[in-house]
Homo-oligomer: A and B are copies of this chain.
Amino acid sequence: MRLMNAAHNEVSQQQPLVQCLTNSVVTNITANVLLAAGAQPAMCDTPEESFDFAQVASGVLINAGTPSQQQYAGMREAIRGAREAGTPWVLDPVAAGSLRHRTEFILSILQEKPTAIRGNASEVMAIAGMGAGGHGVESTDEVEAAVPAAKKLAESTGAVVAVSGPRDLIVSDGRVTWLRSGHPMLQSVIGTGCSLGALTAAYLGAARGSYLTSDLGWEINDHTATLAAHAHSGAAAQLAMSGEIGPVPKAPGSFAQAWLDALYLITEAQIEQFIDVEEA
């Protein structure tokens, strides 16, 4: 918990610049989530600029939600730039398994060593070659069913693999962590999951930077950074629903606003209070 707090603190201190190549539905909320968490968003995704930008960014998000050929080209450039510069990058394999065309693209970039992969159970099982594929963007599988796929994927790619659901599963080589946080209302607001991918890139970027700035920095590895990003997002949902920062939201419109507020207002002590972490 001490390290998760340190990771949270590094994001506010360093204000990591996160390059998001993401789907057009969630650009706005993704940028606002990053700002609320203290990071800086940049939605730079063209083929012409993505390589250069990934070299100055602290972290890169590749979200395959509305994939055009042009954005695919931008994604390949961003990944190339990220790898050359050692910038951590996160893959969000939206709807992998349910649509052939994007699944092929996602599998092709999976070879490029993402730092972390964040998806739902169906998506993770699909790209691990162990699932039947989801129906659209909703998971049709339980998180628990994705444990073998997450382990296999972590081993084959070297990535931290995060599976979102009622309990989040974070897997990396040799470590399996369960995180209980969040609130079902998150499912009723578009982009809360996609934004978590961006927030993970922010935490990974800040954790890398922490080697230079903090005594604890060298201990905040990618697994811990990914876990801390999920805890921040999930605990903010709980804080939003707690009534502590305003009226308790009864519906998605007011919840979306309260969640953004909570991402900004939440303290490390409140995150600790709301979440439950279990190492398996």
- Determine whether the beta carbon of A253 is less than 8 Å from that of B251: no
CA distance A250 to B266 in the complex (A): 12
Cβ-neighbour of A257 out of B42, B188, B253, B262 (below 8 A): B253
CA distance A256 to B260 in the complex (A): 10
Stretch in contact with the other chain, from A106-114, A131-139, A212-220: A131-139
Chain A 35-65 near chain B by CB (<8 Å), digits 1 or 0: 1100011111110110011001100000001
CA distance A29 to B185 in the complex (A): 16
- Determine whether the beta carbon of B136 is less than 8 Å from that of A17: yes
User: For the complex, is A145 an interface residue (Cβ under 8 Å from B)?
Assistant: no
User: For the complex, is A1 an interface residue (Cβ under 8 Å from B)?
Assistant: no
Chain A 75-86 near chain B by CB (<8 Å), digits 1 or 0: 000000000000
CA distance A262 to B254 in the complex (A): 10
Chain A 258-272 near chain B by CB (<8 Å), digits 1 or 0: 111110110000000
In this complex, how many residues of chain A approach chain B with their Cβ under 8 Å: the count is 64
- Given contacts A26-B28, A28-B29, A190-B28, is CB(A40)–CB(B251) below 8 Å? no
- Chain B's closest residue to A98 (CB) is B56
Stretch in contact with the other chain, from A6-14, A66-74, A120-128, A159-167: A66-74
- Given contacts A24-B43, A27-B25, is CB(A36)–CB(B188) below 8 Å? yes
- A189 CB contacts on chain B under 8 angstroms: 32, 35
User: For the complex, is A252 an interface residue (Cβ under 8 Å from B)?
Assistant: yes
- A26 CB contacts on chain B under 8 angstroms: 28
- Determine whether the beta carbon of A190 is less than 8 Å from that of B32: yes
- A193 nearest CB across to chain B (Å): 12
Query: Which A positions have Cβ atoms within 8 angstroms of B?
Result: 17, 23-29, 31-32, 35-36, 40-46, 48-49, 52-53, 56-57, 65-70, 95, 98-102, 135-138, 187-191, 245-247, 249-254, 256-262, 264-265
Known pairs A36-B188, A36-B252. 14 more at Cβ < 8 A? A23-B43, A28-B191, A32-B253, A35-B187, A36-B253, A44-B95, A46-B68, A46-B101, A49-B67, A56-B136, A245-B250, A251-B261, A252-B261, A254-B257
| Closest CB pairs A-B (n = 6) | A253-B260, A251-B261, A31-B190, A253-B257, A251-B264, A253-B261
